[in-house]
Structure 1
Amino acid sequence: MKGQEWYQADDVAQEYDEKRFSKGGRLIDRREKEAVLDALGPVEDKKVLEIACGTGRFTAMLAERGADIVGLDISGPMLQQGRQRAQSAGVADSLEYMRGDAGRLPFPDDHFDVVFAMRFFHLADTPEEFLAEMCRVSNDQIFFDTFNRYSTRSLYNWALPMGSRLYSGEEVDALLDATGLELVSAEHDWIFPYGLYREIPNRVASTLRWLDDGIRTLPFGDRLASVSYWNARL
């Protein structure tokens, strides 16, 4: 998996949220949480697994809504940040964090109602294997996002420290077919790249987001989207 050592560094974990979700990055955080909540629906008493949970942005949010949730990540420092978040949110007793490999999930077949992963598949060197493992431990729903091949991200992806695996719609369709998943819904978003939003004040980013939304309403808008959210079922 791309960036495995980088994500496990203490300083990366400590600065991760601040670098990505401050300034205009707040809009990204809000939209990603909205996408997860829209796809998963009511989660009270559902057994949920988050793959690559990182600092626990989604894990804690779903625990607050009554989910029986496990957050799994390969990075100990990231998980420590997640535990601190859960403690601050008052849900430390309502969730579990585990260190583990997404390619070899330590759970039996059909163990969870929902398995989801955000900001993971752009790092996956063998995405079909990871998705198959997610399917193995789910008895119903799979949700994940991808960075898209024909988007603004492709213009600067080469310059990123680790780069990203970019996906076309056809590649995602092939992944779903290979793992026996049926696509329920898909949303395509963010014409302008994440990196731009993170570098500008939230007030300015809100204006940029307004322009972004306008472009996406055009007939070709979805084709320019840099991110897609995929909601599928077994």
Structure 2
Amino acid sequence: MKGKEWYQADDVAQEYDSKRFSRGGRLIDHREKRAVLDALGPVEDKDVLEIACGTGRFTVMLAERGANIVGLDISRAMMTQGREKARRAGVEDHIEFLRGDAARLPFPDDHFDAVFAMRFFHLADTPAKFLAEMARVSKELVFFDTFNDTSARVAYNWLLPMGSRLYGDEEVHELLDAAGLTLAGVRNDFVLPYGFYRKIPNGVAGAFREADTSFGETSLGERLASVSYWRATVGERSD
């Protein structure tokens, strides 16, 4: 995985949320959480796995809605932040944080009702292997996001500390086919890249977000979107 050492550092974990989801980044946090909720639907009493759970933004949110959720990550420091969030929210009994490798998930086939990953596939060195594992352990649903190779992210990708893997639609469709998944829906968003929103105050970001959303609904905006949210269903397995 790209940036593996950087991602596991204590100081990165401690500042992760404040650097990415303060100021205009609050809009990103809100949109990503909405995307997860829309994709997974009602989660009460469902078994859910989050790949690359990080500081537990989504893990805790779903536990608060009644999910029995496992958050898997490679970073102990990130999961320490997640456990503290779970403690403050009073949902420790609904969450298990587990350190592990997303390419070799320690679960049997069809173990979870839904499996999802956010902010993960842009770092993936072997996306086919990761997606195949997500499909293997899910009974019903797989959800993930990608950063897109026709977006403004291309222009500043080289400035990022670990770069990003960018995807085209054709590549994602091939990955889904190889994993035995059927595309159930895709949503494109954020013509303006995430880095732009993190640099401006939240009050100012709202106006840009409105314009971004309006343009994003056009055919050109769809092609220039920075991020895509992919919802897929698991097909019947052969004996």
Superposition TM-score, scaled by structure 1 size:
0.99
Structure 2 letter corresponding to 1:9:
A
In the other structure, the counterpart of 1:226 is: 226
In the other structure, the counterpart of 2:65 is: 65
Looking at structure 1, the residues matched to 82 and 218 of structure 2 have their Cα atoms a distance apart, in angstroms, of 39
Looking at structure 2, the residues matched to 212 and 75 of structure 1 have their Cα atoms a distance apart, in angstroms, of 34
In the other structure, the counterpart of 2:18 is: 18
DSSP-derived class of the 2:147 partner: strand
In the other structure, the counterpart of 1:140 is: 140
The Cα shift of 1:219 comes to 2.5
DSSP-derived class of the 1:187 partner: strand
In the other structure, the counterpart of 2:120 is: 120
Looking at structure 1, the residues matched to 121 and 233 of structure 2 have their Cα atoms a distance apart, in angstroms, of 18
| Structure 1 residues 191-210: Cα deviation after superposition (integer angstroms, max 9, x where no partner) | 00100100110011111101
DSSP-derived class of the 2:219 partner: coil
Residue 83 (structure 2) pairs with residue 83 (structure 1): yes
Looking at structure 2, the residues matched to 147 and 179 of structure 1 have their Cα atoms a distance apart, in angstroms, of 19
In the other structure, the counterpart of 1:47 is: 47
Residue 174 (structure 2) pairs with residue 205 (structure 1): no
The Cα shift of 1:180 comes to 1.0
The Cα shift of 1:211 comes to 1.1
Cα RMSD over matched residues? 0.6
Looking at structure 2, the residues matched to 214 and 109 of structure 1 have their Cα atoms a distance apart, in angstroms, of 42
The Cα shift of 1:53 comes to 0.1
Bigger shift: residues 210-219 or 171-180: 210-219
Structure 1 letter corresponding to 2:142:
I
| Structure 1 residues 42-80: Cα deviation after superposition (integer angstroms, max 9, x where no partner) | 001111000000000000000000001000000000000
Bigger shift: residues 86-95 or 194-203: 86-95
Structure 2 letter corresponding to 1:209:
R
DSSP-derived class of the 1:107 partner: coil
Structure 1 letter corresponding to 2:36:
V
Looking at structure 2, the residues matched to 119 and 169 of structure 1 have their Cα atoms a distance apart, in angstroms, of 17
Structure 2 letter corresponding to 1:229:
Y
Report % sequence identity.
70
Structure 1 letter corresponding to 2:174:
A
Superposed, 1:88-107 pairs within 5 Å as 88-107=88-107
DSSP-derived class of the 1:220 partner: helix
In the other structure, the counterpart of 2:5 is: 5
Bigger shift: residues 211-220 or 3-12: 211-220
Q: Which runs of 5+ in 2 are unaligned?
A: 235-239
Looking at structure 1, the residues matched to 217 and 53 of structure 2 have their Cα atoms a distance apart, in angstroms, of 32
The Cα shift of 1:217 comes to 2.2
What is the count of residue pairs matched by the alignment?
Answer: 234
Structure 2 letter corresponding to 1:136:
R
| Structure 1 residues 117-164: Cα deviation after superposition (integer angstroms, max 9, x where no partner) | 000000000100000011111111000000000000011101111100
DSSP-derived class of the 2:155 partner: helix
DSSP-derived class of the 1:161 partner: coil
DSSP-derived class of the 1:97 partner: strand
Superposition TM-score, scaled by structure 2 size:
0.97
Bigger shift: residues 91-100 or 44-53: 91-100
Superposed, 1:29-40 pairs within 5 Å as 29-40=29-40
Structure 2 letter corresponding to 1:28:
I
